[in-house]
Structure 1
Amino acid sequence: MTGEIFLDRIQNAVHHPTAEHPRVLTDRLWPRGLRKDALGDIQWYKEASPSTELRKAFHSGELNVSTFQVAYKKQLLENLACLDPLLALLKRGDVTLLTATKDANTSYLQVLKTVLVERIAHPK
């Protein structure tokens, strides 16, 4: 059984202390204005997020969106072990990936979701 991957903002998720399936905050930095005790059952797994260098290059404008996405996917594929905890959760069922980014559906989570789906479909 493989679950479905949902994307959402951490700010939406903290209003619900528990969920039917695992929720994982994947941002490298802790979201401003959130207390860690407000997470409830939300896990924090930053190892699969874009590297600090990649994130800074994107936010400074050195990388456009498509270049960032290619570089981030390359980062993930060069360190497949960082995906193992997320893949293990997906093998048990649905998972929601969370970010503090304003729009989760246009964030780096789309790249992470794509790579996870590819890894489940074609494990190596």
Structure 2
Amino acid sequence: MTVVKIKRVYEDPSATDGYRVLVDRLWPRGMKKEYLKYDSWEKDITPSPELRKWFHEDFVGHWNEFAALYEKELENSPAVAAFMDRISGQKTVTLLYASKEPLHNHALILQHYLQAHLKDK
């Protein structure tokens, strides 16, 4: 079974990170590409631009509705299904995100979604 972890892109890489995946649509501010250690950048499994912009208007107030809407996007995404196929053989996958919000960010939702659906693979 694949273990899915999350980590801010600004944290140092660790040997226990396994396969490191950037899961932000935009490149993280202040991060030079040569300094970020990642195995893939999966823009297509992030929230749609419209959903992301709406969510950023009020992280806390929009959280529950954002989570439900993003999960629907994940369920209907061929990119997510293809990503799950690619990572299913990995022992550990670490999702890298840039948000300063540790309790209200899309990586948490993606982590839970992947953990629930990778069991079936």
Q: Which stretches of structure 1, 4 residues or longer, exceed 6 Å deviation after superposition?
A: none
Q: Which amino acid aligns with 2:79?
A: A
Unmatched runs of 5 consecutive residues or more in structure 2: none
Give aligned-pair identity as a percent: 31
Of the three residues 1, 6, 25, the one matched with 1:28 is: 25
Q: Which amino acid aligns with 1:116?
A: L
Q: Which amino acid aligns with 1:81?
A: A
| TM-score, scaled to structure 1 | 0.82
1:114 correspondence with 2:101: no
Q: Distance in 2 between matches of 1:117 and 1:75?
A: 16
| TM-score, scaled to structure 2 | 0.83
Q: Which amino acid aligns with 1:27?
A: D
> How many residue pairs were aligned?
119
RMSD: 2.3
Partner of 1:38: 35
**Cα shift readout 1:11-62 (whole Å, capped 9, x = no counterpart):** 00xx33x745111110111111011111234422111111100000111239
Unmatched runs of 5 consecutive residues or more in structure 1: none
Partner of 1:79: 77
Any conservation in 1 of the 2:47–2:70 contact (CA below 8 Å)? yes
